[in-house]
Amino acid sequence: MAISVNNDSKPAFSDIICAQSQLKNIIKYTPLERSKSFSAFSGADVYLKLENLQSTGSFKVRGAYYKIKNLSEEELARGVMCASAGNHAQGVAYAATRLGVKSTIFMPTFAPPLKVIATRSYGAEVILTGDNFDDAFEAAMEFHEKTGTTFVHPFNDPHIIAGQGTVGLEIFEQLREVEMVFVPIGGGGLISGVAIALKQLNPEIKIIGVEADGAQSMKVSMREGEISPLQSIDTIADGIAVKSPGNMTYEITKDLVDEIVVVNDAEIAHTAYLLMQRTKILAEPSGVAAMAAIMYNKTDVKGKKVVPVISGGNFNMSILEQILDKGVVEEGFRARIAVLIPDQAGMLKSIISILESIKASIHDIEHERSTASVPVGFVQVTITFNLQDSSQIATILNELDKKGMKYQVLK
């Protein structure tokens, strides 16, 4: 069943203008920066809308503050609550505390520890429950029914959508000539607000939604012609891992979004690595989905002025470590080789001397003697090392061949 709220009124452009007025001096007017590197990669003129630099680290605070600011005295007195994988949680906690309101946040048990810590630091009571957003949402609804606490929906709410739509207003103010805007889709609140704003300002601007391959709830729903919840979701982009769009966000997306494309986890991870390496921008997997769609040419952007919304920067640190490691390997600046050598003194030194000769620095060394694949009297040495140039690997393999050593380059 689709997630819905008891408010059938879709936000209008005037609501987004009102939201911008109320958010002034509360949220940051985030930069729109041209990326020389990603423009060269894609053949487009790429400008990054850096919502990863927003207060709380994502765009979510825009909608959360505008929603809570417009609650009645009675609703505020009951306190506010929400369900979130992390970014909406921080937005609600931050906004509630600024407005002097008690907040209770339900988060999935897998929520990145740093997001949990940050949410608590903004003044919320955090309850960890369930394996995904939808489980946390169900627990939140039970709490809502029992206590009457005011629920702040993460996306399917007119005030939330209007608040997120201020991103679109800023993009247009910063780049009137924009031709295409790429927006990540989880539940659809951000793209709904951005589409309402930009289509009002210039109907010719193309709005492109981007979903993770393992969480295509909006794309599937559009294809089926009705809201079609996914049975399961699987993606590193936890911020957009939602099984079903809202009834309101579905209708707005259907009316105003020009296209929805999909990026896989490998594309997301490599884009996140390149953003760090080339532009020094730290953005979480869901935050780079829009850029990944441009980077991997999911739709034609050649020669166009395009804006990907970099929607958040609240990284799961274990994922960040993996992305960095894989990125360095993919670019040819780190390699792993397993070498089978006699278990004798001096044999390991002979391998290390090859690495030293080309100034390759050793990252890690592992020894294995006990597996069936290693003959008695031998040891398998796996060496991970950093290179100054990707061409150096050929030199190393050539030297190992000269020494008659059996080896395997590991991916």
CATH code: domain of residue 244: 3.40.50.1100
Same domain, 259 and 389: no
Structural domain count of the chain? 2
Compute and round to an integer the Cα radius of gyration of the chain. 25
Same domain, 353 and 246: no
Instruction: Choose one of 331, 365, 394: the last residue of a domain.
Output: 331
pLDDT for res 6: 41
Distant-in-sequence, close-in-space partners of 29: CB < 8 Å, separation ≥ 6:
170
Q: Per the structure block, which two tokens stand in for 283?
A: 């953005």
Same domain, 233 and 373: no
Instruction: Choose one of 269, 300, 331: the last residue of a domain.
Output: 331
Same domain, 304 and 339: no
Instruction: Choose one of 331, 353, 369: the last residue of a domain.
Output: 331
Q: Per the structure block, which two tokens stand in for 11?
A: 């936000």
Same domain, 234 and 359: no
Place of tokens 């992305």: 323
Q: Is 206 a catalytic residue?
A: no
Same domain, 205 and 344: no
pLDDT for res 108: 86
The two beta strands, 32-34 and 45-50, are antiparallel
Place of tokens 């796996």: 382
CATH code: domain of residue 353: 3.30.70.260
Identify the CA nearest to 261 among candidates 309, 305, 306, 213: 213
Q: Is 60 a catalytic residue?
A: yes
Identify the CA nearest to 307 among candidates 180, 405, 170: 180
Residue of 42, 84, 244, 311 marked catalytic? 311
- What is the DSSP-derived secondary structure letter of residue 58? B
Same domain, 171 and 199: yes
Distant-in-sequence, close-in-space partners of 52: CB < 8 Å, separation ≥ 6:
58, 281, 282, 283, 284, 287, 310, 311, 312, 313
Which residues of the chain fall short of a pLDDT of 70? Answer: 1-8
pLDDT for res 62: 98
Q: Answer for the pair 291, 261: CB distance below 8 angstroms, yes or no.
A: no
Residue of 60, 219, 243, 298 marked catalytic? 60
Angstrom distance (rounded) from CA 36 to CA 46 = 8
Q: Per the structure block, which two tokens stand in for 343?
A: 């278990």
Same domain, 57 and 165: yes
Same domain, 19 and 76: yes
Element holding 275 (H helix, E strand): helix 265-279
pLDDT for res 8: 61
* Count of alpha carbons within 13 angstroms of residue 186, beta-carbon side: 31
pLDDT for res 390: 82
Angstrom distance (rounded) from CA 175 to CA 223 = 32
Domain, as residue range, for 345: 333-410
Same domain, 298 and 367: no
Same domain, 27 and 149: yes
Identify the CA nearest to 187 among candidates 24, 294, 311: 311
The two beta strands, 334-342 and 378-386, are antiparallel
Same domain, 348 and 322: no
Q: Per the structure block, which two tokens stand in for 149?
A: 């606490």
Strand partners, 47: 34
